[in-house]
Amino acid sequence: MRGILGPRLLLLCASALASTPAVATADGQYGYGYQAPESSAAALARNVRTLASAPKDFGALIAAGKAALELGDTQAAAGFFARADEVNPRSPLPQAGMGAVSVANGEASAAMPYFGRATQLGASLSQIASDRGLAFDLLGQQKQAQADYRAALNGPDATEARRRLALSLAISGDKAGALQALAPLAAKGDAAAGRVRAFVLALSGDSGGAMTAINAAMPGSWSRVSPLLQRLAALAPGQKAAAVNLGIFPGENPAQLASASVSSPYSARPAQGPPVDRLASIEEQLNEPEAEAVRPAPPPVPVAYAAPPARQQPTATRLTPARPRVWLQLASGPNPQALPDQFRRMKSRNRDLFDGISGYVAKGGDRARLVIGPFRGPSDAQTFAEDLQTAGINAFSWTNSESDQIVPLGTQ
């Protein structure tokens, strides 16, 4: 489904280290980090089939969110976790899943309230620690990250947490500790250990050793990844964490970095994607416009991060986008006529928050989206999304394509 399931590759130089979100175990006892024996694409297709006949199946929604996130489709994962939260708002799993989605998007500050709410609802530290640790790493708080990773070593995400611990130790300058943390995985023949070792060496300034290690782990890849590995040591700590865990390098165009991607059993593979026609049918059930995504906001968690710049106020003119722009999606559905009332309800409950904000309808294919914006960039959009979250309104960043038609609300 192209509404919730727009493919997104987060895997540039470091795709081996993608996040592992909340999932359901095979016996129906929902856990965190369980690795199903089937492929992510097969798991997504199976759970979508379940949702076609039972749209409120909590376990299927959680498992579908996990599978979508493993496939690199964070927008789809967010949609499934949000629906799971509507079905069972007292479970910690949707909140933990949304935290994992935010981390996978590189939005560490947005992830923290979700993890805080998951803990309040009963999630154990070992259930959220691997993903929360990565959020701390992205914020440049390596000591807190390493404490979380060590806590996760006793949980279901132990293998991923050990990889992330090794990288975090290397980021903080402890090369020996990083290699020591990685040693148990190398001894077991972990498929990703060689790549992680290359990143550890590169983070420590040993670009020559990193080249040797990456060539041993991925023969013939040297020319593609060499320029990126050589840059790692000069980055700031949070930038290093984003680079080696998410493939996000500062100042780079992701399209230009795609040639440096490395494949991994832990990485997203868009080619594995599930059948679009089946997913399109379930999207209509999962995104009815009258089901307003308003929930109690997670409590604030004290985290040190810089506030993004002020957002740009939207214009009041009809838009026919000539280039992609960043918006916040508040709702979606097949019927655009239902969106104005939904926006009016949101504004009436939060007049100060929506003061001067106009709504728009974005139409593409058979879906209509209620959006606000456009914003100057993702950080501006995230700032306002966090403001909305304090009022219990879930908003998701969305970038239009050139084929989307966006008009002021009420003119559609």
Alpha-carbon distance values, 68 to 40, 86, 295 (Å): 7, 18, 23
Q: Which residues share a beta bridge with 327?
A: 398
Over residues 65-98, the pLDDT tens digits come to: 999 988 888 888 999 999 999 999 999 999 999 9
**pLDDT-derived band at 196, boundaries 50, 70, 90:** very high
Residue 177 is classified by DSSP as: H
Coil, helix or strand at residue 262: coil
Contacts of 369 (CB under 8 A, 6+ apart): 3, 329, 331, 332, 361, 362, 363, 398
Chain centroid to Cα 105, Å, comes to 4
Cβ(147)–Cβ(132) below 8 Å: no
Most confident of 13-27, 124-138, 202-216: 124-138
Structure confidence at residue 384 (pLDDT): 78
58, two tokens: 């909590």
| Domain made up of 307-408: CATH architecture | 2-Layer Sandwich (3.30)
pLDDT at 215 exceeding the cut of 60: yes
Distance CA 202, CA 262 (A): 16
- Mapping DSSP onto H, E and C, the string for 35-71 reads CCCCCHHHHHHHHHHHHHHCCCCHHHHHHHHHHHHHC
Over residues 139-154, the pLDDT tens digits come to: 999 999 999 999 999 8
288, two tokens: 């009815």
CA quadruple 317, 322, 326, 331: dihedral positive or negative?
positive
Amino acid identity, position 220: G
Helices (H) and strands (E) in the chain, counts: 17, 7
CA trace torsion 127, 130, 135, 137 (10° rounding): 150
Structure confidence at residue 258 (pLDDT): 32
Query: CA neighbours within 13 Å on the CB side: how many for 407?
Result: 12
Looking at the chain, the whole-number percentage of residues with pLDDT higher than 90 is 34
Distance CA 224, CA 246 (A): 17
Over residues 167-185, the pLDDT tens digits come to: 999 999 999 999 999 888 8
Coil, helix or strand at residue 327: strand
pLDDT at 187 exceeding the cut of 90: no
Alpha-carbon distance values, 202 to 41, 167, 168, 224, 285 (Å): 33, 10, 13, 15, 47
Structure confidence at residue 403 (pLDDT): 79
228, two tokens: 């990126």
Distance CA 268, CA 228 (A): 20
Strand duo 326-333 + 367-375: pairing? antiparallel
Distance CA 123, CA 365 (A): 39
Residue 32 is classified by DSSP as: E
Strand duo 405-408 + 396-399: pairing? unpaired
Give me the helices (H) in 105-221, please: 108-120, 125-138, 142-152, 158-171, 175-187, 193-203, 207-217
Classified by CATH at the fold level, domain 15-271 comes out as 1.25.40
Cβ(80)–Cβ(286) below 8 Å: yes
Over residues 264-298, the pLDDT tens digits come to: 323 333 333 333 335 444 444 444 443 333 333 33
Domains 15-271 and 307-408 are alike in CATH topology: no
| Annotated domain spans of the chain | 15-271, 307-408
CA trace torsion 16, 22, 24, 29 (10° rounding): 130
Residue 15 is classified by DSSP as: G
148, two tokens: 């979380």
Distance CA 360, CA 331 (A): 11
Distance CA 313, CA 193 (A): 47
Over residues 357-411, the pLDDT tens digits come to: 889 998 877 778 899 988 877 777 777 787 787 778 888 888 888 778 888 887 7
